[in-house]
Amino acid sequence: MISEVNKVFMLSTKETSYIFRVLPSGHLENLHYGNRLKEQDFRGIHMKQNAGAGSSVLYMEEAMSLDLLPLEYSFNGKGDYRVMPLEMEMPDGSFVCDFVYAGHEIMEGTMPMNELPDAHGDGVTIVVELRDKLFPITMKLSYTVFSDCDVITRRTEIINHSKETVRLRKIMSLCLDLLSDGFDVMTLDGGWIKEAHAHRRELSQGMLINDSTTGASSNRHNPGVILMKKETTEDHGRCYGFNLMYSGNHHTAIEVSNHGIVRVIQGVSQHNFHWPLASGESFETPSAVLTTSGKGLNDLSHHFHDFVNHHVISERWQKKPRPILMNNWEATFFDFNERKIMSLAKEASKLGVELFVLDDGWFGKRNNDHAGLGDYEVNRSKLPGGISNLARKIKALGMSFGLWFEPEMINEDSELFRKHPEYAMKVPGRKPSKGRNQLVLDLCKVEVQDYIIENVEKILRDAPISYVKWDMNRHMSDMFSDAVEHQGMVFHSYIKGLYRVLRKITDDFPDVLFESCSSGGNRFDLGMLSYMPQIWASDNTDPVERLKIQEGLSYFYPSSTMGAHVSQSPHQQTLRRTPLETRFNVAAFGLLGYELDLSNLNLKEKEEIRNQIIWYKKYRSLMQFGRFYRFIKEKENRVNFQVAEEDGSIAVLGNFQILQKSSPGFDVLHFKGLNPDERYHVETVKATMDIEAFGELLKHVTPVKLKPGGLILRNARKFYRLPHNVESYDCYGDLLASGLRVNQQFMGTGYSKETRMLGDFGSQLMSAEMKGAIVNGEKQ
Ligand code: GLA
């Protein structure tokens, strides 16, 4: 809901209010962003300036300093010295501008943008128009309120009505001044195979910048940022979340002023940015996404999750169960042929897999990563019958078929490069730098966009393909395009070109499920999610590392967006050995897939996977779309994840142990989101462990004496796995919330099937079901 009384604007969601007013000077003052307030006389929260402004510069004749005000947007050269959301060379060559209120309009719905993705669904929008006092240049500040999920999106548009060209050097989507000090900041930082690690730190005087300069939203710093009071935890306290619907270079700056006002600006990065606006032209920023909660970080994340699930993901994929997939990449890399793929696919289908994905290496001379990108001719020596023949064979096994593409890239050793070297991005006269032996295609060029659209669509038309993995495997360098007027336009024009390609292809193939990937999670953002409902979270599938990656992402993105696979142990990037059970237990909190050579597994391991898939299918809707909860880590050594249906009828809790302690203490598991007055049946999800984990001890627990490491044991492993951790309870939700004391862990002395044999990297899943809960369409 949006209301206006005497130029005071009140934007209300279910539980929050965002209030600002027009000052007598025409500037916009932020009065409140936080818990929901009643409509009233808001003079009590006007910022008072009745004691002079010290050494500050006054705004014209009014006894007011802009520097001391919480503003909705701010402009250069009129006495506000905090970080600026806008830098524009005006028609007079100066950087001074002064935009003031000129009118507003409130409308139902969202305001779709032409070239950038935006949120959809029920919303109310207010557009406030500001005009520069000297030149006929206008600015529109748009706010859309998504009441159901307590989210407000903001964006900015500049329209040049003057006769001269103006030059944008920086234009942020959002500027928000919050009147509170004592904040902590959380950002997601990392790199390849260590994406999205959450870092929380104290915000102190000065400036903190979270940005990307790689050309993509990047695995270095995700655009999501959280500000929270020092005392805020997962379940208590005030916090503010910011994210940007954009896949290119982003920028968030947070400055604490010397009077304790915290300014947040967020938008497209000004790194190498320069955008000329000729007479009559306009520029629109992507949308920034804001939310706040007084109930801690889990609640804040739930706002973001609902927003993504209801207003970002295309309506056709909302709540639509995602298939369990098998991807051949880690099993074969480039070294495959139809026979190998079919034998992997046959094994996968026997285990219950629903979708088989053929990864990199099926086209051109792509036998390694030095050649082939840019080409779409099927590699006939690997796949003599082509993609359509393979897809049909996979379909005959009862699975659907998916295919990998990396359309934004080119190898010098490709037919495309030989024919169109000018399609590759490079600076004339300079040798371009390569990443993974490849160059970036110049997506600022319409002919390059059309080349991609035409070729990807042809493959999708010619074969029964129901899933596409859209990869992008390098950072941008040698930024130059002859398709733009100024080289400061390259980064943003590339992203606009990419969005045009994605819009066209995903509209033309509405039934194909697209998964975005960029060397894993190098482009995990709301822009990509607008076109592709899921993203490969990381090339790192080591469950211990994945706990950090998936937990970090969960602050902003729901489980329904995170591709998570079970892979081989020892893991290919960390060499860590982990139990199959834990690899599954972590992947189960995302979109489950398998990515390993099934022919290396013994019968018992295959049976374990078959059971995992049966279990996941039953709880799929809960695991993919349920409410996800994080827990305060009492000890770094234990991590808990949990999902619950919104009505509290079922929940699954994951308990992950990093390292085994000798003679460990007692574990108490707390469930969240359950109904305290309802009775639940709680039980551990059945799991078995590799008998090899027992080492020498085996001779004490098996009826027959076996020599550890001996031939008999090695053979026995194929036919026998030890059950462990069997426990169940019937109790009320109140007890489960206050803490369930679960069975003892192995203490070095005894084993029974009740003992929890966790060991290093061990884990367990526990489900809690209310009597009569609906699981997979069936009443329990
Ligand atoms: C990237 C992806 C992987 C795989 C390879 C193929 O690294 O993240 O999942 O698709 O490319 O080259």
Residue 6, token pair as written in the block: 């005497």
Question: Residue 747 to residues 89, 662, 663: CA-CA distances in angstroms?
Answer: 71, 7, 5
The rounded Å distance from CA 200 to ligand 1 centre is: 30
Task: Specify the pLDDT at position 750.
Answer: 76
Considering 98, 471, 525, 542, which one is annotated as catalytic?
471
Asked if residue 129 lies in contact with residue 102, where contact means CB atoms within 8 angstroms, the answer is yes
Alpha carbons 207 and 253: distance in angstroms, whole number: 7
Q: In 335-357, which positions are buried (b, 16+ CB within 10 angstroms) versus exposed (e)?
A: ebebebbbebbebbbebbbbbbb
Considering 539, 542, 667, 690, which one is annotated as catalytic?
539
Output the residue whose Cα is nearest ligand 1's atom 7. 519
The rounded Å distance from CA 471 to ligand 1 centre is: 7
| Known catalytic membership, residue 359 | no
Task: Specify the pLDDT at position 501.
Answer: 98
Q: Residues 260-315: pLDDT tens digits?
A: 999 999 999 999 999 999 999 999 999 999 999 999 999 999 999 999 999 999 99
Average pLDDT of span 76-92: 97
Tell me the one-letter amino acid at 484: V
Task: Specify the pLDDT at position 520.
Answer: 97
Atom of ligand 1 nearest to the CA of 473: 1
Task: Specify the pLDDT at position 700.
Answer: 65
Average pLDDT of span 624-648: 92
DSSP structure string for 743-777: PPBP-SS---TTSB---TT-EEEEEEEETT-EETT
Task: Specify the pLDDT at position 635.
Answer: 66
Report CA 173 to chain centroid distance, whole Å: 20
Q: Residues 540-591: pLDDT tens digits?
A: 999 999 999 999 999 999 999 999 999 999 999 999 999 999 999 999 999 9
Output the residue whose Cα is nearest ligand 1's atom 9. 539
Alpha carbons 227 and 236: distance in angstroms, whole number: 14
The rounded Å distance from CA 6 to ligand 1 centre is: 56
pLDDT confidence band for 634 (50 / 70 / 90): low
The rounded Å distance from CA 431 to ligand 1 centre is: 26
CA angle 84–257–27, rounded 5-degree value:
50
Average pLDDT of span 126-148: 98
Tell me the one-letter amino acid at 16: T
Output the residue whose Cα is nearest ligand 1's atom 5. 360
Alpha carbons 255 and 257: distance in angstroms, whole number: 6
Alpha carbons 530 and 528: distance in angstroms, whole number: 5
Q: Residues 689-734: pLDDT tens digits?
A: 888 777 767 766 666 666 666 777 777 778 888 888 899 999 999 9
Which residues partner with 668 through β-bridges?
741
Atom of ligand 1 nearest to the CA of 518: 8
Task: Specify the pLDDT at position 287.
Answer: 98
Atom of ligand 1 nearest to the CA of 404: 10
The rounded Å distance from CA 424 to ligand 1 centre is: 21
Asked if residue 45 lies in contact with residue 39, where contact means CB atoms within 8 angstroms, the answer is no
Task: Specify the pLDDT at position 702.
Answer: 63
Among 468, 473, 540, the mutation site with the greatest number of ligand 1 atoms within 8 A of its Cβ is 473
Pocket of ligand 1 (CB under 6 A): 329, 359-360, 404, 471, 473, 517, 519-520, 536, 539
pTM for the structure as a whole: 0.97
Mean pLDDT for the chain overall: 95
Q: What ranges make up the beta strands (E) of 212-300?
A: 221-229, 239-244, 250-256, 262-268, 275-277, 282-284, 288-293
Atom of ligand 1 nearest to the CA of 539: 8
Start-to-end Cα distance in the chain: 40
Asked if residue 505 lies in contact with residue 456, where contact means CB atoms within 8 angstroms, the answer is yes
Query: How many residues are there in the chain?
Result: 780
| Known catalytic membership, residue 369 | no
